[in-house]
Chains A and B, each alone.
Chain A
Amino acid sequence: MFKRYPKRARLSDRTQVTLRLMVKKDQQALYEFFQRVSREDRLFLRDDVSKPATVQSWVEELDYARVLPLLALVDGRVVGDATLHRRVHGWTRHLGKVRLVIDPVYRQKGLGSLLIKELKEIARGLKLERLVVELMGSQQAALAAFRQLGFERAAVLYRHVKDRAGRPQDLVILIHDLEEVPEPVSF
């Protein structure tokens, strides 16, 4: 099912991007990508990406069965990172958790929806039933973007997480049902 990659696509401003799965040799490019994400945005990320060790551990533990990282590249530079996280065992084995980071320069060009659309396709192929996104309450732009992509707010955990500055933030859980694609009816 990963034969579809690498895959080319165009953003709304005609920029050509390449989509493909992350491989071990992307470590440096991925680290540089996260350094281009603004400090304010980095505050809201789940992990501390300002440390090379964080990115290094992702690369070292690369296991597509658990985490599937999809990169968007322009001229060899990473401009977007969308990951699908799964569990092999247990009561959440039918769920996929999605995380998404876009280079500030490449926002508002449809790159986020392009990556999420791809992850939805991959998730369907893996027979997952629902996608879950967890965001902090103050990430208004990201919340609005995911709602436009068909994610619905399922719960808010009040002041549950802490951002990088140590401030308590609400945790918003958004869910998208991967509806069965109806088979085309033949006459």
Chain B
Amino acid sequence: MNEKRIEDRFPKTIVLKDGTKVVLKAMTHTDRDALHQFFSRVPEQDRKFLKHDVSKKEVIDSWLKDINYGRVFPMLAEVDGKVVGDATLHRRSSGWLKHVAEVRLVVDPAYRHKGLGSHLLEEIIMLAADAGVEKLVAEIVAEERAAIRAFQRFNFEQVAVLPGIVKDQNGRYQDLVVMVLDVPTAFVPDWFYF
């Protein structure tokens, strides 16, 4: 992700269905404490379905230690300086998955069902299209039905299920659903409208 593009796009203010103003911005080193607090508000039954154990401070610190927007672009949603959503776009600089990016999304429970997740996902898809990504992948634990439906609304298709491949934070084995979106190349970026 090009730094100039990020500066042009962010911060950006969006308005949720209930009128809440949310600021979208690129994560920086100064967001450490806000991120810790955000993940501590994510309930345990949700946390156990995340790829990483975010209750551990060292996990979050490791993300902040090697911030590189070209590899991982972390986008935060903030309300009055409080982080309420985290959407990340993961890319590879070389190899057979160079044209593929992965999206991960976490929303504060108090800000669900207000369209925040959709805003974040839409923003990530536009960023991906802008960066020339051809496929976006989301890996979701099968029990997360609501998350799977949310991705389906954005035309992500379920391409594979890996039975019992994931070991959640409680040590239980879960099926992993792999969802893929063929990123529309003709996606018109929002800055096109004036």
List of A residues within 8 angstroms of B53 by Cβ: 89-90
CB-defined interface of B139-170 with A at 8 Å, one 1/0 digit per residue? 00100000000000000000111110111110
Q: Does the CB pair B95–A93 fall under 8 Å?
A: no
Q: Does the CB pair A160–B135 fall under 8 Å?
A: yes
Q: Does the CB pair A154–B180 fall under 8 Å?
A: no
Q: Which A residue sits closest to B171, measured CB to CB?
A: A94
Q: Does the CB pair B160–A48 fall under 8 Å?
A: no
List of B residues within 8 angstroms of A114 by Cβ: none
Complex Cα spacing A45 to B104, Å: 27
Complex Cα spacing A46 to B95, Å: 5
List of B residues within 8 angstroms of A93 by Cβ: 167
Total contacts A-B at CB 8 Å: 65
Q: Which B residue sits closest to A91, measured CB to CB?
A: B166
Q: Does the CB pair A157–B167 fall under 8 Å?
A: no
Q: Does the CB pair A160–B180 fall under 8 Å?
A: yes
The minimal Cβ–Cβ distance linking A67 to chain B, given in whole angstroms, is: 14
Q: Does the CB pair A155–B162 fall under 8 Å?
A: yes
Instruction: Judge whether B57 is part of the interface by a CB distance below 8 angstroms.
Output: no
Q: Does the CB pair B96–A162 fall under 8 Å?
A: yes
Q: How many residues of B contact A (CB 8 A)?
A: 29
Q: Does the CB pair B160–A163 fall under 8 Å?
A: no
Q: Does the CB pair A90–B99 fall under 8 Å?
A: no
Complex Cα spacing A54 to B98, Å: 15
The minimal Cβ–Cβ distance linking B183 to chain A, given in whole angstroms, is: 13
Q: Does the CB pair A161–B160 fall under 8 Å?
A: no
Complex Cα spacing A175 to B165, Å: 9
Instruction: Judge whether B59 is part of the interface by a CB distance below 8 angstroms.
Output: yes
Complex Cα spacing A82 to B113, Å: 47
Query: Which residues of A in the span 131-187 have a Cβ within 8 Å of any Cβ on B?
Result: 136, 154-158, 160-163, 169, 173, 175
Q: Does the CB pair B51–A157 fall under 8 Å?
A: no
Contact of B159 among A46, A95, A160, A175 (CB under 8 A): A160
Complex Cα spacing A45 to B94, Å: 11
Given contacts A45-B96, A130-B165, 9 further A-B pairs with CB under 8 A are A47-B94, A48-B94, A48-B95, A54-B94, A89-B53, A89-B56, A154-B165, A155-B160, A173-B160
List 22 interface pairs A-B (beta carbons < 8 Å), by A numbering.
Answer: A47-B94, A47-B95, A48-B94, A48-B95, A89-B56, A89-B59, A91-B52, A91-B166, A91-B167, A91-B174, A130-B165, A136-B96, A154-B165, A155-B162, A157-B159, A157-B178, A160-B135, A160-B180, A161-B96, A161-B100, A173-B160, A175-B165
Which residues of A are interface residues toward B (Cβ below 8 A)?
Answer: 45-48, 54, 89-95, 129-130, 136, 154-158, 160-163, 169, 173, 175
